[in-house]
Amino acid sequence: MAVFTTVTTADLGPFLAAYDVGELVSFEGIAEGVENTNYHLTTSRARYILTLYEKRVAPGDLPFFLTLMTFLADAGVPTARAIPQRSGTALGQLCGRPAALIEHLRGAAATNPTPAQCNAAGVALADMHLATTHFDGARSNALGPSGWQTLLANSAFRADEVEPGLGAQLQQELAEVSAGWPKDLPKGVIHGDLFPDNVLFERDQLSGLIDFYFACTDFYAYDLAITINAWCFDSGGVFDAPLSAALVNGYQSRRPLSAAEAAALPQLARGAALRFILTRLTDWLNHDPSALVTAKNPLALLPNLRFHSAASPSVYGV
C-alpha cells in the first residue's frame, strides 16, 4: 500500500455519494507498499480502505481481484470484501483512477513474526489454496519467468548503479532459475505477495489476509515459496529454520505437499527471491521522490537467493 495520487475532501464527495456508507468523517494516506494508492477512510458508519489503482495494475484485471476477495470471504477465508456501490458495481472512478472501497479488517501486521504467527499464516495460505479450487476465475502470472526476462531486460543496463556487477549476477541467476523451473505441479489461484504486511493479527490470532493485487494462476508451492522468502529471513538475510518449519507445518496441516512439490521447493524459492529482487530493482531505479512511498532495497533479498541455490527441501521443514 502507498500514496501516489493525492485525494482531497472535494474529490471524495461525489465518489462517496455513489455508496451507502454514511458521511465522511476522516481519511489519511497509508505510506506502506509500492503498487496502489491507499487511504484509511472513516465514515459515520464504519472504517474502510480506499484504494486507487495505479498504472501498473491493468484495469481489466480489477474485476478478478475484487471478485476473488469476496469469494474467499464467503468461503470462510479471512479476507476483506469490496463494498458495492448503490448500482451494484464494486469499482468506481476517483481522481482519474479506478477505485474501490474495501472492508477494514481488524488487527495489525506482525513486525517480528513468531513461530505461532508463521504457523497461522501457513494454515491460512493453504486454506486459501483449497478454497480457490472452486473459484471460476483465472489470471496468468505476468511476473513469472517470462516476466522476469522483461524486467531484467529493462533494468540490467542500470543495475550496476545499485551494486557493481549486479546486472551480470542477475543475468546468470535468471538463466539458471529458468532452466530448472518446474513445468507440471498442482496449480490454481495464488496470493502471490503474502508478506507479513499483508497478514493481520490480533496477538497470535490471524484476522485477515489483504492486498490480493498480485493474485494469479500459478503453482501452489510457488506461493508457499514466496511466503518462505517473506517470513523466514531476518533483516540481515539470515534464514530462520524454526520459522520456516512452523510455516510449512501449518501449510501441510491443511494441504500436504506432493513429493514433486517438496522436491521443487528450493528452485521455487530461488525464483521467488529473484522475482522480488527484479521488481524492487525496477522500482528503485524509477522511484518518484514526490510520491508518499518508500522504495524497497533490491539488495535485501540477495542473501535469500544465495541460500536457496544451495538448499535442500528438508531445510525448509518439509
Tell me the domains of the chain and their CATH numbers: 9-104 (3.30.200.20), 109-316 (3.90.1200.10)
Q: What is the pLDDT of residues 69-100, one digit of tens each?
A: 999 999 999 999 999 999 999 999 999 999 99
What φ, ψ does residue 240 adopt, rounded to 5°? -110, 100
Structure-block grid coordinates of residue 204: 497470535
Instruction: Among 32-36, 155-159, 229-233, 244-248, name the one with the lowest average pLDDT.
Output: 32-36
Q: For a pLDDT cut of 70, what percent of the chain falls above it? A: 97
Q: What is the pLDDT of residues 180-216, one digit of tens each?
A: 999 999 999 999 999 999 999 998 899 999 999 999 9
- What helix, strand, coil percent values describe the chain, rounded to 5? 45, 15, 40
Report pLDDT for 178. Answer: 95
User: pTM for the complete prediction?
Assistant: 0.93
Mean predicted confidence (pLDDT) in 225-235: 97
What is the average pLDDT score of the chain?
Answer: 94
What torsion do the CA atoms of 62, 66, 68, 72 make, to the nearest 10 degrees?
160
In whole angstroms, what is the distance from residue 49 CA to residue 41 CA?
Answer: 6
What band does 293 get if pLDDT is binned at 50, 70 and 90?
low
Structure-block grid coordinates of residue 300: 535485501
Report pLDDT for 117. Answer: 97
Task: Kindly give, in sequence order, each residue whose CB lies less than 8 Å from that of residue 204, ignoring residues fewer than 6 positions away.
Answer: 114, 116, 117, 120
Report pLDDT for 35. Answer: 76
Structure-block grid coordinates of residue 277: 529482487
In whole angstroms, what is the distance from residue 18 CA to residue 316 CA?
Answer: 48
Report pLDDT for 204. Answer: 81
Mean predicted confidence (pLDDT) in 239-251: 98
HEC string of 223-236 equals: HHHHHHHHHCECCC
Q: Are 147 and 141 in contact (CB under 8 A)?
A: yes
Count the neighbouring beta carbons within 10 Å of the beta carbon of residue 163: 12
Is residue 294 pLDDT above 90, yes or no?
no
What band does 1 get if pLDDT is binned at 50, 70 and 90?
very low
Q: What is the pLDDT of residues 38-79, one digit of tens each?
A: 999 999 999 999 999 987 788 999 999 999 999 999 999 999
